[in-house]
Structure formats: C-alpha cells, structure tokens
Structure 1
Amino acid sequence: MPTPSTTDKYARLLARCEGQPPIPTAVAHPCDYSSLDGALEAARLGLIVPLLVGPPDRIRQVAREHGFDLGSTQIIEAPHSHASAEAAVEAVRTGQAELLMKGSLHSDELLQAVTRSTSGLRTARRLSHVFAMDVPSYHKPLFITDAAVNIFPTLNDKADIVRNAIDLVRVLGIERPKVAILSAVETVTDKIPSTIEAAALCMMSLRGQIEGGILDGPLAFDNAISRAAADTKGIRSDVAGDPDILLVPDLEAGNMLAKQLTFLAGAEAAGIVLGARVPIVLTSRADSVRARIGSCAIAVLLAHARRVMDTSAKV
C-alpha cells in the first residue's frame, strides 16, 4: 500500500494499516460518484476488497460517467436501495464480507437491515456512532459520540456508547482513553438531567461497570477542551484539557458540535458505527474522499483487531 505523503492524523491512520491484508467489504448501493469513488479509492490504497451491492447497470453507468475502472470488482445484484442494504448485510452474515460500508442509500435503510432480529449482526451492545475528528487546533485525534444514531440516549444507552468508543480508541493505540462527558455546566444539578447522568457514568466507571477508560463529567465544552479554562474554574480533573473522547448529551448537541468543528474549524470527520458484529462505515454524501478513506482505515483496524481476538479465542 502506498505510504501517505502527509503527516496529518489521517495519514497516521493509513500508516497503521500498512502490511495488513485488505478486508472484504460489502458496499451497500454505491450508485453515485462519491460513494463509488470512496470504495474504489479505499481498494486502490489496499484497505478493502469491495463487494459492490446494488443494481449492476446503474453502478456500471456511474463508473463510465466518471471514468472509474471497475476491473474485476465483484458486483452483487440488488434491484434497489432497500434490497441493497439487505444483500450487503447478508454478505456479512454469510462471511463473504467483514465490513459494511454505506453507499448512496439513506443511513436508516442500512441500519434497519443491520438491526433486524434476523440479520445476524446484532450483539448485546447498542449501536452507536463515532466521529473521528481531525481538528487542526487540537493536539490529537478527537472522537465525538453519539452524533448520528441515538437521538435521546438513556443512561444505559450512554454506558454502551462510552464502551463502544473506548473499545475503538484502544484499538487505535490509546491504552486508557480519556472521556469527557459533556453538558452545559460542570456541576451536577437536577435542573439539567445530563449532569446527573454524567455523574452516574463516572460512578459506573469507578464500580467497574465501564472499563478501559478514564471518565470525568459533567464538563462544559470549554473546560473539557481547555486546561486553562478548567484551572480558572478550579476543576481538578485528569481529563480536562486532554480528552480523547467527547460524550455528548444527545444527538442534536453532537451533530451540531461535529458540524461546527467541520465547517468553522476546518476539521475532517470520519464516521463509523460500532456495536454490531462488524464495523459499519457510515459516511455522509457531503464527506470528502479523504474523510471516507479515514473511515475505512478505522474500520479496517477494527476488523483486524477482531480477527486477532477471534483467533485468540480459538486457541
């Protein structure tokens, strides 16, 4: 696989994938330029072996219109987007693919196929989404969850959301991720329920119900990100000023935060859904190819980690 020419955070993700075999990936309904381009570019970089799932004539037409060479890329026939989602999930269930990647269909179509009781992809964990953000003004990758799947998560939902994010970040090489649990204020008050849930999550961590990370909250965004802001308010915290993960109170807050960082701070956002039997690359049609490749790289690292765990379990 080509060595990345830049030194940014996404390039380091690609570098971690070097030497790893490409992962068979079911791409659901890649019927527009950006989704087909992202899948083929990930294949060119040696990240995935794409299985394109959708109407063959339409996929080939998009390829012709944009000068893409499909070569020997496998196409699994499905007549429309709903069928593409079902067929892509089936490809994973039967072992043809180890990753699932969203094409030009709606996210709900794909996730409904994943969460169906007969899909074979559900686990005991709740599905959740993580944005892996490359924020130019922040000193390391920043992971925001959940800004795309869980609208108003309960306390138990948030516990799973945190567990999923911690597992992801640990695979990416951070042994004990720091988790800032966000709210509007940094004090616990019954007037703002998210502050109570933040405190409960911290206690769950202390009691061993959430493992692998260092949790602190509630924290307002300023004192979560800025050590100076935390010091000004007299907050003693191992997380403030240096979080790896930001747990947002709900989808609205998370979605606005991620988009503000993208469009006002020049951040790149890779997106992935966790909690299923395989990682799900869930990107937006507005995402750059670079962000799509970042999402694929994260998913590939997770898939390889899963292979290692499966092998260890059999020994």
Structure 2
Amino acid sequence: MSLENWTQVTEFVLLGFPRSHILQSLLFLGLMVTYIVTASGNLLIIGLTWVSRRLHTQMYFFLRNLSFLELLLVSVVVPKMLVIILTGDHSISFASCILQSYLYFLLGTTDFFLLAVMSLDRYLAICRPLHYETLMSGRVCSQLVLASWLAGFVWVLCPTILMASLPFCGPRGIDHFFCDSWPLLRLSCGDTRLLELVAFVLSTAVLLGSLVVTLVSYACIIATVFRAPTAAEQKKAFSTCASHLTVVVIVYGSSIFLYIRVSEAQSSLLNKGASVLSCIITPLLNPFIFSLRNDKVKQALRDALRWHRIMAMRDYEDHK
C-alpha cells in the first residue's frame, strides 16, 4: 500500500474480553478482588520491610523493591481492564497503547534483572558469608536496584520507538486484554522484520542472561548446602532461598511459554495465559509466597499488629 493511500490508526480496540454479560461480571468481580488483595499484600510487604528493624537487611531490601515492582506491574494492566468492563468501551488511544506496552515490558524486564540480583545476593550470603557484608553493602544494594531499573528502561526503549514508528492502517482490533507487542505487530501494515529481530535478540538476551546468573547462583548454593555438616543447617539455608526460587520458577515459566509458537489460535491463547500468569497471578502470589514461608516477616507482622493494638488502647484510655 502506498503512503498516500492509508490513514494512521489513532486508537485500537481490545478484543480479549468475554462477550457474555455474566462472564464479564464475574471477570470484573474477580479482577477487582485480585487487584485489592494484590495491592494490599504488596503494600504490606513494603511497609513491614520499611518499618520493622528486624527486616532491615539486604534480602528484605530487595524484597521491598520486588513488591513495589509487582504492584506497578499489576497496576499497568488491571485498572484499564476494569474500566473497559465497567464502561463497555474497549477502545484505547494509540499513545496510551504504546505507553502501556512500554511500561509492561519495562517492568517485566526489570523484574528479570532484579530476580537475578536477588539470586546473586543469596549466593553471596550462603557461599561467601565472611565477605557478604562487604560485597553486598547497603550502597551496593542500592546501586544494583538502580542498575536493574536503568537496564530495563534502556532495554525496552529501542523496540518501543520502532513500534511507535510503524504504520497502522487497520484493522484496529487487538486480540488481547492489553497492548501486548505481538498482537500489535500483526496489525501493522509496514515492514516489521527489523522490530521482530531487535525484540527477539533483546528479549532472548535478558531472559537467558538473567536465567544463567540465577541457575549458576543456585547451583553453587546447592553445592554449598550439601556440604553443610548438619541437616538443620541445610534446611535453614534452603528455607532462605525457597520463596525466591518459587517466584523465579513462575516468572521464567510464564515467559518461556511466550516463546512457544504453534498455531495462530493456540499461540494467542498461550500469550494470554502467560500474560495473566506474569502480570496478575505472580503479583498476587508474591506477598503470600514471601510472608507465609518466612518467619521474620510473620513476626514483624505480629509486632506491627501488637503495636497497633497498644496504640489503640492508649487512645481509648486517653479519651475516656
């Protein structure tokens, strides 16, 4: 199609929602409850690790940043879904769509880097305990988190610029519940080969690179733990890694599914399922995984509740 014969699309239509009113109502209720629980749980982790002195360690500093990232990730996708179901308006402007896609992949990429940093932190804590405080000081922790965010920002910037520069002539329907990159690429009437190559190289590099760091770190951890003299020490070492490893399996598992390309219908279904797992289910499970399996977090929560009850009783006595 020649340039003078097409008009740039100014908005898209998100089609990845059920058409039945009953299913839409159930989806709205489920998403609303999920979002409230996710936001409350991650804010609770952020608050506890910020206030409780017993949680002022490197591991919980990284956990606080991970919870903040997960909170942002679910907020990029779910509120727009709720608005669409509530209003029935499935449209999203071109600029908003590109911005949502950029933020989603920025946060997802930063998540990979941060999980790799957390695995490196566990490696140093277990395999290099005598040098841990020097190698993983507070300043180094802050620099690693900042580097993860900057790397995510830069990593996704080039593909997003290329995506925004593509011509979109119609159709406008995106077969997804948010502006994912692959459904968007299928709608472009321009040459997408350069963007597909850049996206493949960058996404493969960040996925495999962070996964290698994580796998090597845990291989060293496992080797060190098995050399521990007692079963109690082995159990303690494994327990400090179990929560992080659980999140790693979920995040990387959902991302690997995104690389499975079968039939068009199956590919679309896999994309939606993996996206739900990464941007809705994982942020929901994150507080439960790290709190229910962690005695220090549970004790910090009990201390916070006890302090709240004491303050409430004092206020009651003062107003009697």
Task: Give me the TM-score of the superposition, normalised by structure 2.
Answer: 0.26
Highest relative contact order (Cα 8 Å, sep 6+), 1 or 2?
A: 2
Task: Give me the TM-score of the superposition, normalised by structure 1.
Answer: 0.26
Structure number having the greater strand percentage: 1
Structure number having the greater helix percentage: 2
Larger Rg: 2
